[in-house]
Every structure is written in structure tokens, then in C-alpha cells.
């Protein structure tokens, strides 16, 4: 099983804990990281994730992202095919970088795309030919535990 986490999911454990949702998602993300580290799933990284992590103005967030992504089994590099596929997702109102992440998750043959972004979760449901299942961290834990 392969999992592609977007950056908001990777960085969720660093968010201010002022909502129950953040607490639950943080714990789920940490559990999923442990699941990957134990070898029961593979973490996928990408050029786009490294680029996005570099943009972080807070060193702790950048360092955390790099530390997580270093543990990945696969590095997906952006191709013209990925760019073309990402452009197909823009029609659904998905932001360009998020669309690229989805395309890269497909390209890397991820089973799951894990995100805390409500817009991606909602809009991805409209994409009938999407080859990766988009879930929140809590929903992903529940899916794996079935």
C-alpha cells in the first residue's frame, strides 16, 4: 500500500491545537507515519512536495517536512504527462499545486492521497477517473483498520 501525504497533512502535527479536529488529525497523521515506518505502507514523496516544503518560512515546519519526506520509498519527479493530468483537475476548481500533487500521487501509483484540506477532499469526489483515493487522515486510519 502506498500513501501520498500532501504538505498540510505532513505538517498537521505542528498546527496549534485549538480544535478537536486538529488533535484527531494530528494523532492520525503520526499514527500513519508510524504505520509507514513499520513497513506496512510506503510513503511517497515528490518534487512538488520538496518544492512546497522549501517555501515554508518557519524552519521547524521545513525541517519537519524534510524529515518525513526522507523516509519515503519513492520519489516522483514531475513529467509533462503529470502536468497535463494536473491541468485536467483544474476544471474541478482544484488549485494548481494541489492538482499537481494529485497527478503525482497517481503517477506514483499511490493507493491513498492523505490531506487535511477540505476543498481537495470535496472537489476530488467530482473526478470520476481519479486513480487515487483521497481521504482525511482520520478517514484513512479507519479505511486501513477495516
What pTM value is reported for the model?
A: 0.96
Domain housing 25: 2-145
pLDDT digits (tens, 9 = 90+) for 83-115: 999 999 999 999 999 999 999 999 999 999 999
* Average pLDDT rounded to a whole number, residues 67-71: 96
Confidence class for position 14, pLDDT limits 50, 70, 90 = very high
- What CATH number is associated with residue 89? 3.40.50.1010
pLDDT in tens, 32-42: 999 999 999 99
HEC-encoded secondary structure of the chain: CEEEECHHHHCHHHCCCCCHHHHHHHHHHHHHHHHHHCCCCEEEEEHHHHHHHHCCCCHHHHHHHHHHHCCCCEEECCCHHHHHHHHHHHCCCCCHHHHHHHHHHHHCCCCEEECCCHHHHHHHCCCCCCCCEEECHHHHHHHHHC
> What is the count of structural domains for the chain?
1
Work out the pLDDT band at 146, boundaries 50, 70, 90: confident
Amino acid at each position: 500500500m502506498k500513501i501520498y501525504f500532501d504538505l498540510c497533512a505532513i505538517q498537521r502535527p505542528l498546527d496549534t491545537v485549538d480544535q478537536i479536529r486538529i488533535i484527531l488529525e494530528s494523532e492520525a497523521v503520526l499514527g500513519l507515519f508510524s504505520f509507514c515506518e513499520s513497513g506496512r505502507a510506503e510513503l511517497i514523496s515528490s518534487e512538488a512536495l520538496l518544492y512546497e516544503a522549501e517555501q515554508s518560512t518557519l524552519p521547524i515546519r521545513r525541517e519537519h517536512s524534510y524529515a518525513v519526506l526522507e523516509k519515503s520509498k519513492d520519489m516522483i519527479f514531475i513529467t509533462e504527462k503529470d502536468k497535463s493530468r494536473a491541468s485536467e483537475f483544474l476544471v474541478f476548481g482544484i488549485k494548481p499545486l494541489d492538482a499537481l500533487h494529485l497527478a503525482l500521487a497517481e503517477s506514483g501509483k499511490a493507493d491513498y492521497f492523505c490531506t487535511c484540506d477540505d476543498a481537495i477532499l470535496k472537489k476530488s469526489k467530482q473526478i470520476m477517473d481519479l486513480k487515487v483515493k483521497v481521504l482525511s487522515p482520520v478517514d484513512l486510519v479507519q479505511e486501513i483498520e477495516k
